[in-house]
Amino acid sequence: GPTGDINGTSYYAYVDSSTPYHPGKTAKLIGLFISNSTTTLSFSYHMYSDPNDFYDINADHKLEVILRPYNLQNSMWLDEDTILSIEGNQGNIWNTFITIINSGIFQLEFRATTSTKYQGFQSDIAIDHITIGDGGSFNLEPQSPNQEPEPEPESQPEPEPEPEPLSAHETDPET
């Protein structure tokens, strides 16, 4: 994985491809959000596979980002819309993806799949700095498994509420 988050100072979420998480294992990070107007969705991702890795020469790890809108009139989830699907080595750098999304209620899913190669140790996938509009960032600060989220202070309703905090892994310079 990367040596640090996009800013080099904090946390990021990632899928570890080390044993027993390979080959071809899938992890999902899912959140719900409401957008009252057309807005942006942006995030950074890191997908590196060492080109000198003789076991995983053709890296095939994959990141998909899916939006699934909710139809209020029919009270049902609509079909998934894959807004990003990338595979393989994207360089040993953080890349950024930005798109426009319409107003509505959405399920946002990050789906990461490790390499299908038996020795595909070099297929970690990391995401960071997920932002909806001018704010609404997912909280990638880790929580201990027994720690309950702190209650939010009471405030006036906002046009774009923040999604639930999602857990993540602390950066590890050894990976």
pLDDT in tens, the chain (175 residues): 788 888 887 889 988 877 666 678 889 999 999 989 999 999 999 998 766 655 555 567 899 999 999 998 999 999 999 999 999 889 889 999 999 999 999 999 999 988 877 665 667 899 999 998 875 444 444 444 444 544 444 544 455 545 444 444 444 444 4
Q: How many helices (DSSP H) and strands (DSSP E) are in the chain?
A: 0, 10
The confidence score (pLDDT) of residue 78 equals: 95
- The verdict on whether omega for the bond into residue 165 sits within 30 degrees of 0, i.e. cis, is no
The confidence score (pLDDT) of residue 17 equals: 78
Largest CA distance in the chain: 56
**Which residue in 127, 144, 136 sits closest to 29, CA to CA?**
127
The separation between the first and the last C-alpha atoms of the chain, rounded to the nearest angstrom, is: 5
Q: What are phi and psi of 72, to 5 degrees?
A: -65, -35
pTM over 0.75: no
Q: For 43-83, give the secondary structure using H, E and C.
A: EEEEECCCCCCCCCCCCCCEEEEEEEEEECCCCEECCCEEE
The confidence score (pLDDT) of residue 114 equals: 85
The confidence score (pLDDT) of residue 169 equals: 45
